[in-house]
Amino acid sequence: MGRLDAISVSTVQASLIDEIPAVRIGAGCTRRDLSSDGSVRVWVVDMEPGSTWPYVDDHDTGEHYYVVAGEVIEGRARYGIGTYVRFLPGTSHRPRTDTGVRLFGFNLDPSAMLAAREAASRAHRFNYSQG
């Protein structure tokens, strides 16, 4: 498959995942960062058969991913193709795989999360002029 044809509509962005440069995270583990609006980090992770994420991944704002190919192992649980996995804020994990895996995921940018909390706090403050 070749490059995508340009679309004249300026509101659409399209990318072929495998044409986005991969960042090596550790032995057998790569990540491709996808374009987003900045408040959400969007990515694709590929892990080769027998690999383990090189460190424990902590998530202040949580993390979500969808298993696109292969199988990922989280602790004793195995998640195959078509599984949606969500880690709540304040959790951590260290995925591994026997078969290899491709994950499509996202998590909120911590600074964007803080800004949203501050905005919500301002919106809910008592307005003295309203009595």
pLDDT tens-place string over residues 93-127: 999 999 999 999 998 876 665 665 666 666 555 44
Give 64's pLDDT tier (boundaries 50, 70, 90). very high
**What value does the mean pLDDT take over residues 27-43?**
90
Give 131's pLDDT tier (boundaries 50, 70, 90). very low
**What value does the mean pLDDT take over residues 47-72?**
95
Residue 108 has a pLDDT of 81
Q: Within 10 Å of residue 112's Cβ, how many Cβ atoms?
A: 15
Q: Which CATH code fits 20-123?
A: 2.60.120.10
Residue 102 has a pLDDT of 98
CB of 6 closer than 8 Å to CB of 15: no
CB of 60 closer than 8 Å to CB of 124: no
Residue 38 has a pLDDT of 76
Residue 26 tokens, joined: 């550790």
Q: In the block, which residue shows the tokens 């004793």?
A: 76
What DSSP string describes 5-66? Answer: PP-S-TT-----GGGSPPEEEETTEEEEEEP--SSEEEEEEEE-TT-B-SS-EEESS-EEEE
- Residue 73 forms beta bridges with which residues? 78, 96
CB of 41 closer than 8 Å to CB of 88: no
Enumerate the domain spans of the chain: 20-123
Residue 1 has a pLDDT of 47
**What value does the mean pLDDT take over residues 57-76?**
94
Instruction: Work out the mean pLDDT of the chain and round it to a whole number.
Output: 84
